[in-house]
Structure 1
Amino acid sequence: MPAADQALRQRPTRARLAVLALVTAATVLNYLDRSVMSVAARPMSAELHISPAMLGIIFSAFSWTYAAAQIPGGLLLDRLGTRITYACSLTLWSAFTLLHGFAGSIGTLIGLRFGLGLAEAPCYPCNSRILASWFPQGERARATGVYSIGQYFGLAFLSPLLFWIVGNWGWRSLFLLVGAIGIAFGLAWYGVYRDPLQSTRVNQAELAHIAAGGGLNAKPAPSFSWGRMLRLLGKRQILGASLGQFCSNSALVFLITWFPTYLSTERHLDFVKSGFFVALPYVAASAGVLSGGLVSDWLVRRTGSASIGRKGPVVAGLLLISTILSLGFIRDNMVLIAVMSVAAFGQGICNLGWTLISDVAPEGEIGLTSGLFNLCTNIAGIVTPMVIGFVVQASGSFHGALAYIGSVALLGVASYLFVIGDVHRLPAEG
């Protein structure tokens, strides 16, 4: 029986959902490894005599190499494929996390943050490639929403436990535990993951469903050139999406670096209460990720317009982030957490930027486009922690830092409204 006829008669498998579960677990570890330092920051700073400005530099160090390695990471993905690239990245970044537990100086910490950023660089280009290969366009936003919950899951649902571990066993134990779990998962990834056409768990009916929606992109990657990279950045869709994601990512960086310190120092919450209150905005961000994906896919189906479906929810999310501007005027901690949760909900919605970039990336250049996109957006990881650290040290307050985060969100709104233009697959060029 021809493959086409067989696909029509078969009941489609749902192997792509198991793949999505793998990606989600990997993303949980990705963000947990980069953000556990925010939980350890207060006792670590006291033991190693780290000032606010220096803590900002240490937080930022991760993103120096993470951003710089996005283009090489995307190229590595295009050459080696998802299975090998992701497995190596997972195992290596987890090893760097584990080594944080043995750090005895500021210089060692900065060096380990450099290594962590370098090792994590291929992760999101891999995620984008996996979704473009395994999911039809009409399901990608929801799939992005599911795995993006991993950005917040560790701190959303584990913060009280993480703070308890630090309080009882010390900050070093946190890095040792999380790193060991990640190394084990990296080895498991290599054993389990396969691309759609190599998978034994997917049948012809599911492959046909994926292909009908624009998945199974197997076009060979073009050779790299600086001209090709500049050409991609010259496309308004890629430039506008990158600027918008930089703006929303600034809020995420604040959440996973300085927010616990803000609560414990400026808002005077004790260690246990800090762990509880830190969790609430991350839960809200998780809800924002899911809601954004569902609404986006519904809008695409309802209107037939990727521009409306992808851009509209992100603009709304950036506007919600801008409510951070009010935090400096709020005295009640419960009201503050409520407003921060609204802003975090908006930040979760903005993860749709990854769906948008997978929709516009030229065929055969998803790895390079995603790497370029992540390079631009993660400049926020370099800038934001240092801006906050220097502002806090100079002023003794977080007021100026909060104003910076809210204002940058409004810049993102302008980028989505006036720069991106129409959302469609850009033509590949030789």
Structure 2
Amino acid sequence: MVDSAPPITRKPTGYRWELLLLLWLAFFLNQADRQIFSVVLPLIRDDLGLTDAELGLIASALVWTYGLLVPIAGFIGDRFSRRNILGFCLLFWSFATLMTGFCSTVFQFILLRGVATGGGEAFYAPSANALLGETYRENRSFALSIHQTAVYFGIILSGLIAGYIGERYGWQNAFYLFGSLGIVLAVVFFSRIPKDIATPATRSQQPLLAEIGETARIVIRKPTVIMLTLGFGCMVFVNVGYLTWMPSFLVDKFGMSLTDAGFSALFYHHLGAFLGVLSGAKIADHYAKTNPRSRLVVQALGLLLGAPFIYWISMSQTQIMTYIALFLFGIFRGWYDSNIVASLYEVVSPKIRSSAYGLVLACAFLIGASAPYLLGVLKPTLGLTAGLASLSGVYVLGSLFIGSGAIWFFDKDRELSV
């Protein structure tokens, strides 16, 4: 297993910025397409008469598919042309998004929304981050940070745009619009970005499944990695549950329009998360100079301090108080996000960091994928208020997992990884 990057010719500045721009737009659509369903969910429920449990199952199917395929996508990204992987996966998930507008049954939604869209999106991040990292070797963090901002814009703007289109022109047109934009972008991407070649020096000589198995055997011997994975799973559980049902919660509780609910459910939280990522990274970097376990401590504190505000979101009686709670929940979610990769890298050998992260990501998404379905099942009896409030307990549990890894296992695991 080889972790080194291939020797590449330095690209002109114009090409590098064009690549970053096109990947930013692709990542924007990656996140936007993932969120459309949650925003127009009330319209789909009313139009097709689907139950809350069925709607939750559709949302969970995407996350389950993503979790199963993302580790395979990471290994494949080291073996084949990343430009081709990115172009084809963008084309595939965008076509699936467009076709989702024609769905009328639960099975069709699961197949196109869950399996096809989730499967296509799983192949994006590993290859995109690797291609940017190789192209921007001298200012890698800067390029990856700009690329990451597409997450916040994609989620927030999809809530505003999809809600507006859904209310005025029908929920189907939201899928048609975003899917068509992705197909056009895929054509531009193929025409503007030259094909890269995965050189023999970067390819493992082992079969793909054997390589995945070897990496899994290495990381499973490190209790800190297991604790980080369980904590990550708790965070994903809360995040996908919140993203799926929060717009519907605001519509039901405050009688908001779909456009306002789609925007408000996502904007205040992700504004806080943006500020939290910046402050959490600064805090962790400062204290990690003398105590590397500080990265895990910041993550654990992020989940622990964020838990009360999840409860506050559900129990607030006014929109203003709900928005404040969403913002503060976002701040501490950002603390956690700022050290997801950095904490793992403290206890994993550089030789397997990319593949190890793919496996951790997969496990976390598989753990958290059931949240939309479970909240949908509980909604008719307990209601969304109680269901969303219960997510605060999952955040506390995640904090305990990460905290125990920092206290009892970190020193031994870090020593072994040096």
- Report the TM range for the smaller structure's normalisation: 0.7 to 0.9
List runs of 5+ in structure 2 lacking aligned partners. Answer: 1-11
Is the 8 Å Cα contact of residues 284 and 341 (structure 1) preserved in structure 2?
yes
Code of the residue aligned with 2:300 in structure 1: it is V
SS in 1 for 2:119: helix
Matched residue, 1:277: 264
Q: 1:191 to 1:318 in 2, by over 3 A?
A: farther
SS in 2 for 1:80: coil
- Per the normalisation by structure 1, the TM-score is 0.80
Q: Give, in whole Å, the separation in 2 of the partners of 1:254 and 1:365.
A: 31
Query: CA-atom RMSD, angstroms?
Result: 3.3
Q: 1:144 to 1:401 in 2, by over 3 A?
A: farther
Q: Does 1:314 align with 2:299?
A: yes
Give the 5 Å matches for 1:287-298: 287-297=275-285
SS in 1 for 2:96: helix
Q: Give, in whole Å, the separation in 1 of the partners of 2:275 and 2:117.
A: 28
Task: Determine which of 385, 398, 403 is the counterpart of 1:412.
Answer: 398
Structure 1 residue 73: deviation in Å? 1.6
Q: Name the stretch that deviates more: 331-340 or 264-273.
A: 264-273
List runs of 5+ in structure 1 lacking aligned partners. Answer: 1-11, 199-217
SS in 2 for 1:69: helix
Structure 1 residue 82: deviation in Å? 2.6
Is the 8 Å Cα contact of residues 287 and 345 (structure 1) preserved in structure 2?
yes
Q: 1:252 to 1:95 in 2, by over 3 A?
A: same
Is the 8 Å Cα contact of residues 149 and 290 (structure 1) preserved in structure 2?
no
Number of residue pairs the alignment of both structures matches: 393
Matched residue, 2:9: none
Q: Residue by residue, what CA displacement relative to the aligned partner does 1:320-378 show, whole Å, maximum 9, x if unpaired?
A: 43121233432122101210221123223332313444565544534432321211111
Q: Does 1:232 align with 2:219?
A: yes
Matched residue, 2:356: 369
Structure 1 residue 416: deviation in Å? 2.2
Structure 1 residue 96: deviation in Å? 0.8
Q: Does 1:339 align with 2:312?
A: no
Q: Residue by residue, what CA displacement relative to the aligned partner does 1:215-264 show, whole Å, maximum 9, x if unpaired?
A: xxx75436242344232233234323322221222232133211101111
Is the 8 Å Cα contact of residues 289 and 345 (structure 1) preserved in structure 2?
yes
Q: 1:325 to 1:350 in 2, by over 3 A?
A: same
Q: Name the stretch that deviates more: 24-33 or 334-343.
A: 24-33
Aligned-residue identity in percent: 23
Code of the residue aligned with 1:335 in structure 2: it is M
Is the 8 Å Cα contact of residues 101 and 176 (structure 2) preserved in structure 1?
yes
Is the 8 Å Cα contact of residues 215 and 355 (structure 2) preserved in structure 1?
no
Structure 1 residue 400: deviation in Å? 3.1
SS in 1 for 2:321: helix
Q: Does 1:221 align with 2:209?
A: no
Give the 5 Å matches for 1:383-394: 383-394=370-381
Q: Residue by residue, what CA displacement relative to the aligned partner does 1:359-398 show, whole Å, maximum 9, x if unpaired?
A: 6554453443232121111124421101211121222x12
Q: Residue by residue, what CA displacement relative to the aligned partner does 1:397-429 show, whole Å, maximum 9, x if unpaired?
A: 12332233211111222222222525869769x
Structure 1 residue 99: deviation in Å? 0.7
Give the 5 Å matches for 1:29-178: 29-112=29-112, 113-130=114-131, 133=134, 140=141, 145-178=145-178
Is the 8 Å Cα contact of residues 129 and 366 (structure 1) preserved in structure 2?
no
